[in-house]
Structure 1
């Protein structure tokens, strides 16, 4: 929005050309989202408390979690408002990728909002039935895949890029829909499963979004893409603004979500942020690299799958409790130790992902 204003004002002063730089607008997007959370966060937390929209805690979980019952949740709405505000303010609204990633994120946020509303406001412990949750996630993911597939302007936009090998790209054809489905839906649910401890999911989300911003900038710049041996996707660099907004909103939310948390994001935030990361990975053609950087989310998801499969097949559990972070808690690790160690693992994995830019 402000980009259009800046373009108009350049007629009167060339200094406004500075807003054409992606890096500047990305920084402004980070700061805008961050300040939005700082300004509106306390008000939203108070409102959630007044309406008694509080966290529900499982009786069979770690006993230390019982004190979290009643803590305001659905705070993910704050993140979505901050991301939307910063993106609409600083991004080029004529860019199709900006709208795909923003509307896709909000669509998954809407699914989470309905689930949270049913559980926390209507006091329906089941929330949105799982079959309907997956139905809407699947529908939105396939719609996004269709939009990207039929508006693709170059073959590389629907290919699978293999990291570490320069020039290796697999033609997917209709399998592109399958790839987008699993990346977006899988990522959305993986972040949701990880969001079980104070700050556990939000900081890895911030770090991965920051790394994807680097990929977006390089992928959208023909010179950098050629030098690094990565695919060039025209106009995709603009989503660096969106990625920056996630970084700012995530850090702003972490201010209130850090241990001991004053607010939780709920499904409205976790499902949306997971989808946002998956969407950005698809747009910059780095789905396999994203799988590495999101290793913590992957481990949490696999722990649940393995636990359920083992119990159904053998009647035994592999972990003391799933997802994985609860297993370590029940082994005696204090909650802050679990959180920080998972953060450290994410830092390592993100650095490995960024290293693929040069190791080709």
Structure 2
């Protein structure tokens, strides 16, 4: 537990602005996550992506809590007004914030990728998802460990008198982290967008769904902005305030990630609020491609059912039924003997 901070912080403070900037986004994100979990409760159907987003939410709350405690040790005050003996604790809290933020971010991405596994069924799509999941886990683990082993000795990152010359430059690490997270966000959007464009939905509904599922663009923008403000925070020549903007953008990025991952799951809750029966699955789950391309599974209720789609066209060159419609089979993989023409005419009305 951190020591009780002495009342030695004087001068103008930006603490109220920081608290507002970190709490308001978290409250909104919390409402969205709770709405998502309640939607899953309505359907009595939970998935691994729901568990991942729940833990990501807990770590996002931890990020905000740590930043709040950090304001008692100099965050939001001018560097010149922060006593030297308070700075080691403040630095420890800063690194705890960054580490917790990394965990929240990776869990959010894992949750989205686990959801993709439910809607993208083609083998190459699933391979890409697993590769992306592995890459996210690896580089997030590396950044998490670098936070703790930035200096040699490790204690060097907490003390100003031995830090210089013993620690890696942290801004390149932040730059690499932001670049990889941003690239991953854009890549994940690129994986799901073609699936949305192929869905047989009204244009307005398709555009709305595409907008919801591409909200990750805002997370990418937040990550890039966080990287930009980190330059001022980590450069003593330009920094006057202790990580004011950096703290806000760190918490904002984690909160935006939660919102982007949870909004597509809110349809059951929205339908209940409108007095309708909760939908069994979000719109993005409709028209999921079959794993076997155009083939269909056998229909046990139809003795002439096949593993492939049997198409019939009207035109010349084939046998016609009583209405003069040509019933040539274009594609079939039937194992049973084909029915007579008259039987086919009646079978057309059977839903396979």
Q: Which has the larger radius of gyration?
A: 2
Tell me the TM-score normalised to structure 2 length.
0.31
Tell me the TM-score normalised to structure 1 length.
0.31
Structure with the bigger RCO (C-alpha within 8 Å, sep 6+) is 1
